[in-house]
Structure formats: C-alpha cells, structure tokens
Structure 1
C-alpha cells in the first residue's frame, strides 16, 4: 500500500467561490482559467478507479482529484479505439464526421481544427507529450502543437513489450517542460498521454506485487498494476503543476479514450464491442471554484470536452461542433445533452463482420447490430439481459435517435500502411490480417458477438508471436485455418510467425494462398502483397520484391511509406541513384514527408553521399523537432 498523498488546499479565492454556493443552485461565474492541461490515460476503465467504485484500487491520485473536483459518472467514448476517440477528444467532432474509424488506417485531416490550433491562434503556447504509436506524428493529432514530443522507441529495437514509452518517461518530459515555464505569464495548453494500461500488461514489479500478482501474472491483476503505476506518475505531474505555480490557475481534465474488455462479454482487449467496459470512461475536472466532490449523473461525451474547455477559458465556441459544453453542469446547472453515441467498425474493417453503433442515455443503451441489443442500465449495469424483445417501444425510440445522429457520415478513405506501421499496430492486437478494405454495409454480415471466439484466438496468437512463442502461435493458427479455410487474418498471421522463425518458403506459400482469397478486394490484395514483398526482400529477391511493391502501389494510392520502401529495395539491388531520384521526385510534390526525407538520408548516408544525407537529416529535424535519430546523426558531425 502506498502512503496517502495530499496537495495544498485550494486557494482562498477558490474556497470563497465554493462557499458562495448553496444547495442545488448554480455556482457563481468563475474567472477564466489561465491554462488547461488534458491528461488522457489510454485503455482505462472507469470502474477500475477507486472514485468510480473499485474498492481495492490503488488510485489515490485519481481519487484525490475527484474529491477536489467534479466527476462525470456516465462519460461515454465515441469509439473503443485510440485514434478515433482522441481525435474527438481534441476536436469536439465525432469520428464518423471526421472520417476516422481505426488506428493507422486513417488520420485526422488538416481541414479540421484541433483544440491546440484554436488555442495557439488565441496566443497560447501548446505542447503535447504522447506515449503510444497510434497518436504519433502523422496521425494528425500533432496539429497545432508548438512542441509535439512523441519520442516512442522504434518497435524493432524496443521489442514487443514496449511499442510505446512508459508513463515515467512521458512524465519526465512533461515535468521538465512545466518546470521551465512559471505559472504566470503566457497562457498554455498541455496535453499528456499515458499508454501503460494498454495490452500487453507489464507493470513494474512492485506495482504488480501491490496488485496481488507475481512475475507471471496476466490479465486483471497486471492491468490493475499498470493503473496504479500511472496513478503515481499522474501524482508527479500534478505536483509539478503545484510547485511551479500552475495548479490554481489551471483547468485540469483527466480522462481516457476507452476502456478494456478483460473478457467481459468475451472481449479480451477492446475495439470490437460497445459495452460499458470499453466505452464508459473516467472524466474528472479540477479547477478552483468548481464544487469539490461534485458528481454529475447525466450522460456526457468525450466530444463535449473541447466546448467545455473553451467555455472555461472564456473563449467563444465555434459553430458546427458535435460536442456540447458541460461547464455549467459541472457547477450545478442543467445537462446539455440527453444522448451519447458510439461506433465500432473494427469488426467490419478487420474481419468483414457487421459494424456496430450505440446510443446511450442515463438509463438505457441500444446497440444496432444484426441481432439488436437493448439494456436497462439502472437495473442491469453489467449489460447481461437483452431487453430488445420486451421493450420494443424504447428500442424504436433509441433507434430513431441513432439514425438521426448518423444521418451524415464522412467519406471512408483509409490509407495504406507501411511495414513498420503495420508491425506496430499488430503487436498491439490490431490488423491481424493486414489492413483490409473499408467498412461494409451491415446487411448480411456476421454479428461480432457470434464471432468473438475467432477474434480471441487471433489476439492470443498475435501476443504469442510478439512474445517469441512462434510454435504455439503456429499451432493455434493452423487449427483456426483448418476450421475456417477462408480466414485471411489467420493465414496472414501464420505467415508472420513463419517469417519470424526464418521459414520464408512456407510464409511465401501461405501468402500466395491468401492472395487468392482477396480477389476482387484491391485493398486486401495490397496488404497481402506488402507482406509478400517483405518475404522477397528478406530473401534477397529484390526484383520480385520491387515488382510486388510496385503492384501494391497500383492497387492503393502510393504513400510516402511505400515510396520509401521501393527506394530501399532499389538501393539494396545496387540501383542507388534510381532510389534517390524516386525519393526526390516524391518530395517535390510532398516536401513535408518525414518518412521520405528519413529514407533519403539513410540511403544517401549508406552510399557515402554525406552532404545529401546531412541536408535530409536537417529536413527531418525541421519537420519533427527532437527526432532522436536525426539529432544523433547530425550531432556526430559537430
């Protein structure tokens, strides 16, 4: 058990404002916050925090902030997956209006204004410290930040256990930034992202032990250990805000992008289902003058955070936001919304199953699926008894709300993933069969709840591959293919296991079989071709690899990543000038492409063209300040 911790009490002004309230009357007008800090803890279930009812949780910091601030009891994520949910958190627009349904496959387009862009235009200094690959530069989340620190270790060097950076590393960087900027003076926006509760769960040993586990513990206990570890790092962050004069001038928002299944309803991690274990998230506001310890029962959405922050800062709200401010509700006013909406297309995108949509009120949740679901959340918070057949009128009313909310949907324009991006995301359990086509209409598609066993086996196989247990993964995937010969995902993951074992011949054969399954679906074919090209590249068959990469680029629009890979193969084949020319031609049309400048620098350096390499590394650093590889390469020249 960790010792209890406490901060200095709220300022005298804050106490006076709190004392001015009585009963259920709205609180008086609060002075605008000078700064705003948003902390997002990836994959954090609300019901695993003490302040949300988890009696055995070691979450003293979260609990203290809830006592000192306002807690939303029914905060809803718009998607059970990292990038779509964070895009909503930082724009106030729903994922289906942004056109973002998955990690990696989509990006936040420049035409959408982020909170960071708006605040920078108002004179704020903006900084972000990001822990997980789905939010790294290129995701679009970086828009508007003066400093965007995503120094995430490369997957190949970091290994499976850390395709992200630890909460301690993130906090070290954020605390250093806070320490160099006193609380007075220029207004500031700080965004801090922690990733540790995301699978695979590997908390530092003492946190695992405190949670009741051992070195081999998995699942619930290790997940609790990760949360306790983040809680300690959040304490460090809050103390830095206090020590440097920020805290009593700052609106602090602590939330999460989604939760975690932990085998409730059969889901091991997250992304597929829309039950509360994955879409109900913690949401706490702390600001002097807010009624300490207040709990708000009406439903709110992560899309409401941007308008709430803007109102708290005394800034006008832009037109067209999906979110609605709950700043007045936090002070004792009336709720701004009755419904919150969520969508999951992971099953459709990755497996060809039906997409899911949900609408939630304070009392009911309706899930639109091939087999519709309706839950009475007050009587059945665990969502175990489907009331669809016995409460058709309620289901019909909620279905109408859902249809209105999704009447306008952005075009579905996924992008191609490169080898490294695909590897990162697969190590986290996504894209088990590559990054296949766009979401399909729900009619006639399998209901994900009837297919959960398949996803469980693919997730387990993915984790086994990442942990080096290739034979176990091979056995599991062979059995899955024997039961379901048309399962493209199982064939692709089996190829990954064989590539990791050095069995390139079998990997090539199973990918050739997978290619037959993708006829008529260009995007699925492209992703299989990408893997097949990788097999040829590893075998030194550069002509075959190049042809596969080139065919890939005829099936999907070429990207900086695919151009970089083609250039790499040309260089390996001894055609270095062609490689450099290909990259330079691409950079003429896309001069801000970090991936292309990075590959140009690497190839030029390897070929002995020092001047061209240095210039390319400088461009990488220009586009991505703090880039560790570019900084290291240029430092050697000084």
Structure 2
C-alpha cells in the first residue's frame, strides 16, 4: 500500500473546476476528483500554514495541541503528541517527505525515514523542484509500502508563474501597468503594504490592474496542476497508481481582494478557510463521489489510519494503528462510502497571525469574533447568512443579535471545553508577544525609521517608499 499526502499550499477551493470555477485552472485535479471523491465543504479549522499542517498531522485542532499561532516563538509541540508519520513508520511504512516546514518548526520533520528539505535561496518553491525530488524517491521505494508527504507552494505569493501560463487567464489586449487603472491603490495603501512590497509587489513589478494579480494566481494553479499530472503520470508509468491512496488538500485558501485582504490568507472568511480536499484510491473509493457535508482537515489522520486498517497490507502492523486518544478529527470513511454527509454539523475556526479571531460555522450561519484586528479594520463581531450571502458581504451581527449571541455562546462554550481550565494560548500570545505578523511589519517599518503608530495613522505607500529609500525618520 502506498499513501501520498499532498499539501497544496494556499489553494482556494473556489478557484478549481471541481468546485465550480469556470476557468480551466485544474483539469488534472478535476480528473482525480472524478476518479475518486471530492469534499465540497472542507475547512481549515486553524490558519495559516503552521497551525493548519499541525492539525493535519496530529488529527487535533489548535485548542487541543496549543498550537494556534503561526510564526510564534512561544509555540511548542511536545514529542508525546502522536504524529502521523511516526505512527505509520512504527507500523512498518517507509516514510518520506519533500517539504520545508522544518524551517518553521522542528516537529514537521518527525517520523520520517527520509526528509528532503526543499529550502533554498528563494522563499518560493517551484513545483518542478518538488517533483525532481519526489519522483526518484517513489521509484526507489515502489516495491515497499510507503507514506510520502509532498508540499507544493506554487499558489503562494509571490505569484511568478511561467509567462506562457498567463495569457489563458489575462486578456492580451489589456495592459497590467496602465497608469489610468487605479484598482491596485487600495492594496498599495493598505496598512500591510510594507510587508507585501518586499515579499510580493516588488517581485512582480509596478502592476496597476488588480485583475492581473488574480490572473497570476490562476496561472499558478494551472502550473501546479500540470506538475501534479506529471507526478501522477509517473505513478502510472511505475505501475503503482492503482495501489496508491492519493490525498490532495489545501492548507488554507487565499483572499483575492475580498474583505480588504489583498492576495493573502488571513481572515476567517470563505476564500481562506474553505479548502479543497480530494482523494483517489482505485477499487476502494467509488469514482465520482461528492461529499456535501462539513468536514475539516483534522479528519485526515483518522481517515488514513482507517484506510490502512481496511487494507491490512502485508508487512504492516495494522494493529498498531488504532486512533490516538483525544482526536478532534473523525474518519471520513462513512462519508466516502455514502452513509454520512460529513463528519460534523459545526466547524470552529481560529487564526492568530495577521489578526486574532475565532469563528463558528454551521450549515447556514458564520460568526466571527475578532480579538485583535492587526492591520485591518474589523468590527468585534461579524455574522453572515451563508445561504443568502455566500460572499459574506452583509454583517448581520447588529440586526440579528439573538443569533449572534447564541453562536458566540456556543463558541465560548466550545473553547472553554477544549481548554478544560488550561490558559488560552491565543490570549497568552497576544499578552506576551502580540500578533506575529504585526511584529514583522514593525521590523520593516523600524528599518525605514517609522513606527507602527505613525504608519497606521497614514498608510500611504509614497510616504513609506520615501522613508524606506532614504532611511530617514518622518
């Protein structure tokens, strides 16, 4: 038995054909879904990258593990916490990864016989690089039962797809640098601009058309899709495609200007927390299955363990793969087999990087409670009727206070139950260190001779650019 678990970093569900997108970003991922199962309403309970992946590999949300913040020096994951690669290696699987999450936290390298760290001189990683490492590894271990984790970053900023991929998604008659187009001004004059100037805007160029950035994102997804096809064709060539359980998931999505978020993955809104989850396992998963109910990333660990128990491959001690205690995730197999619509009625959401907030989402409503808005302007509560307002444009918190109060009470009870008397790690982070990404902006501003308070009063990119260029205090 082979298991390949693939993280598609920053991949927004609604930008794939299988989730209803009209442009041809994902022909191969859509084909994988047609041959397997697609989860229509899968959610990242914790965002962004560090906390999302910790949930995948532990089967536990951040309130259970204590890992709620991305990029925090306060965060630790005890080695006593059960970890998916450790479990599979102990049962007899050869375990490998092509990944660089080790650069964030050491625990992401736990449990692997072979960990190939793709860190390089650039902060972005081309999917071709992942395949250049993964495909020889697969060929070397094709006669073994193995677990392989692959982490593709192509959809993450900065969006720098090969030029040949852009024309399909951007009208050649348009000029992305047209000075008369002012659609980029809200992004360039946003409080988060100093960070994105360095990590994104300067790398792409002086774009004036915000639609061009959206096109670049689509082009990156199409490029990623081609890399996945390349990998999948390799499995077929080696004759192991039929015995491989292939799992694709987004760790979080991406906001493309919605809610004052410009090509980034913060905010507990649908563009960021609604993620793709697609699985294919020939002969074991009925082709064309679409699961309509709510599921979350923490469900992947118990799903994979149950898959091994169902298969009982030779040489693998399936008895060692009982579910660890205290999981928040639930096996997806009832939903895959068609005897359930999902794994839960309610999803609880959390973030603590650019801003600190928690949310609750049920079949109809979503409530977001913000504790620290960071560089954004946010009301303390946001209530959305997702049935009538799927784009989350009308905040009903003040006009429907009874529903907002009931959902907030449910959220607070859930948090208290999970903490069971322990300190709240989000509140500890805010009290002791503040928001990790605000600190990143402050470092950039300080280098330009500016303070956070000065910048928040006047987030004008010309002011910052002048200060940064001259390194003079204003």
After TM superposition, the score normalised by the length of structure 2 is 0.77
**Which of 268, 279, 283 is 1:274 aligned to?**
268
Q: Which residue of 2 aligns with 1:484?
A: 457
**Which whole-Å CA distance do the structure 1 matches of 2:49 and 2:154 have between them?**
13
Structure 1 residues 107, 212: closer, same or farther in 2, change over 3 A?
Answer: farther
Local SS of the residue matching 2:221: helix
| 1:38 pairs with 2:9 | no
| 1:91 pairs with 2:50 | no
Q: Which residue of 2 aligns with 1:127?
A: 96
Structure 1 residues 271, 128: closer, same or farther in 2, change over 3 A?
Answer: same
Mean Cα displacement is larger for which, 370-379 or 221-230? 370-379
Displacement of 1:474? 5.6
Q: Which residue of 1 aligns with 2:351?
A: 344
Structure 1 residues 458, 138: closer, same or farther in 2, change over 3 A?
Answer: closer
**Which of 364, 374, 381 is 1:372 aligned to?**
381
Q: Which residue of 1 aligns with 2:248?
A: 254
| 1:205 pairs with 2:172 | no
**Which whole-Å CA distance do the structure 2 matches of 1:194 and 1:94 have between them?**
22
Displacement of 1:496? 10
Displacement of 1:79? 2.3
Displacement of 1:398? 2.5
Mean Cα displacement is larger for which, 115-124 or 202-211? 202-211
Cα shift readout 1:577-631 (whole Å, capped 9, x = no counterpart): xxxxxxxxxxxxxxxxxxxxxxxxxxxxxxxxxxxxxxxxxxxxxxxxxxxxxxx
Cα shift readout 1:122-171 (whole Å, capped 9, x = no counterpart): 0111001115xx54374411110111111311xxxx3xxx3132110011
**Which whole-Å CA distance do the structure 2 matches of 1:166 and 1:279 have between them?**
24
Displacement of 1:384? 1.0
| 1:226 pairs with 2:206 | no
Task: Return the structure number with greater relative CO, CA threshold 8 A, min gap 6.
Answer: 2
**Which whole-Å CA distance do the structure 2 matches of 1:93 and 1:57 have between them?**
35
Cα pair 1:78 1:301 within 8 Å, conserved: yes
Q: Which residue of 1 aligns with 2:413?
A: 404
Structure 1 residues 482, 148: closer, same or farther in 2, change over 3 A?
Answer: closer
Cα shift readout 1:288-323 (whole Å, capped 9, x = no counterpart): 231211111111001111111111111422221011
**Which of 144, 147, 166 is 2:126 aligned to?**
166
Cα pair 1:375 1:387 within 8 Å, conserved: yes
Local SS of the residue matching 1:88: helix
Local SS of the residue matching 1:387: coil
Name stretches of at least 5 consecutive residues in structure 1 with no aligned partner. Answer: 1-33, 349-354, 415-436, 449-453, 466-472, 511-638
Displacement of 1:331? 1.1
Displacement of 1:440? 3.9
Cα pair 1:304 1:323 within 8 Å, conserved: yes
Q: Summarize the alignment of residues 493-572 of structure 1 with structure 2, pairs less than 5 Å apart.
A: 497=468
Displacement of 1:58? 2.2
Displacement of 1:210? 2.7
**Which whole-Å CA distance do the structure 1 matches of 2:91 and 2:256 have between them?**
42
**Which whole-Å CA distance do the structure 2 matches of 1:494 and 1:107 have between them?**
37
**Which whole-Å CA distance do the structure 1 matches of 2:268 and 2:343 have between them?**
23
Displacement of 1:119? 0.4
Q: Which residue of 2 aligns with 1:141?
A: 108
Structure 1 residues 121, 107: closer, same or farther in 2, change over 3 A?
Answer: same
**Which of 189, 192, 200 is 2:147 aligned to?**
189
Q: Summarize the alignment of residues 8-157 of structure 1 with structure 2, pairs less than 5 Å apart.
A: 34-105=1-72, 106-131=75-100, 134-136=101-103, 138-153=105-120
After TM superposition, the score normalised by the length of structure 1 is 0.58
**Which whole-Å CA distance do the structure 1 matches of 2:300 and 2:240 have between them?**
20
Q: Which residue of 2 aligns with 1:303?
A: 298
Local SS of the residue matching 2:10: coil
Q: Which residue of 2 aligns with 1:565?
A: none
**Which whole-Å CA distance do the structure 1 matches of 2:334 and 2:165 have between them?**
38
Local SS of the residue matching 1:298: strand
**Which whole-Å CA distance do the structure 2 matches of 1:393 and 1:440 have between them?**
31
Q: Which residue of 1 aligns with 2:392?
A: 383
Cα pair 2:50 2:104 within 8 Å, conserved: no
| 1:394 pairs with 2:407 | no
CA RMSD of aligned residues (A): 3.5
Q: Which residue of 2 aligns with 1:417?
A: none
Cα pair 1:271 1:344 within 8 Å, conserved: no
Displacement of 1:221? 0.9
Local SS of the residue matching 2:255: coil
Structure 1 residues 374, 413: closer, same or farther in 2, change over 3 A?
Answer: closer
Larger helix fraction of residues = 1
Cα pair 1:80 1:259 within 8 Å, conserved: no
Cα shift readout 1:475-509 (whole Å, capped 9, x = no counterpart): 9x689726639x9xx9xx999946xx7x6xx5xx8
Cα pair 2:46 2:55 within 8 Å, conserved: no
Structure 1 residues 480, 84: closer, same or farther in 2, change over 3 A?
Answer: same
Displacement of 1:402? 1.5
Q: Which residue of 2 aligns with 1:326?
A: 332
Local SS of the residue matching 1:439: helix
Cα pair 2:82 2:324 within 8 Å, conserved: no
Cα pair 2:359 2:411 within 8 Å, conserved: yes
| 1:358 pairs with 2:349 | no
Local SS of the residue matching 1:118: helix
**Which whole-Å CA distance do the structure 2 matches of 1:80 and 1:495 have between them?**
34
Cα shift readout 1:16-68 (whole Å, capped 9, x = no counterpart): xxxxxxxxxxxxxxxxxx22111111111100111111111321111101111
Structure 1 residues 137, 244: closer, same or farther in 2, change over 3 A?
Answer: farther
**Which of 135, 149, 155 is 1:175 aligned to?**
135
Displacement of 1:121? 0.8
